[in-house]
Amino acid sequence: MRCPFCGNEETKVIDSRITEEGKVVRRRRECPNCGNRFTTYERVELNVVVVKRDGRREKFNRDKIVNGMVKACEKRPVSMEAIEEAATRIEETIRNEGRKEVSSDYIGKLVMNELKKLDAVAYVRFASVYKQFADISEFEKILEELKKKGNSE
Q: Decide if 146 contacts 123 (C-beta within 8 A).
A: yes
Across the range 5-19, mean pLDDT stands at 93
Given a cut of 90, whether residue 150 has pLDDT beyond it is no
Task: Provide the H-helix boundaries in 25-119.
Answer: 62-72, 80-97, 104-118
This prediction has a pTM of 0.72
Given a cut of 60, whether residue 153 has pLDDT beyond it is no
Instruction: Return mean pLDDT, the chain.
Output: 90
Domain residue spans of the chain: 1-43, 46-152
Q: Decide if 94 contacts 108 (C-beta within 8 A).
A: no
61 alpha-carbon distance from chain centroid: 9
Nearest C-alpha neighbor of 42 from the set 61, 22, 66: 22
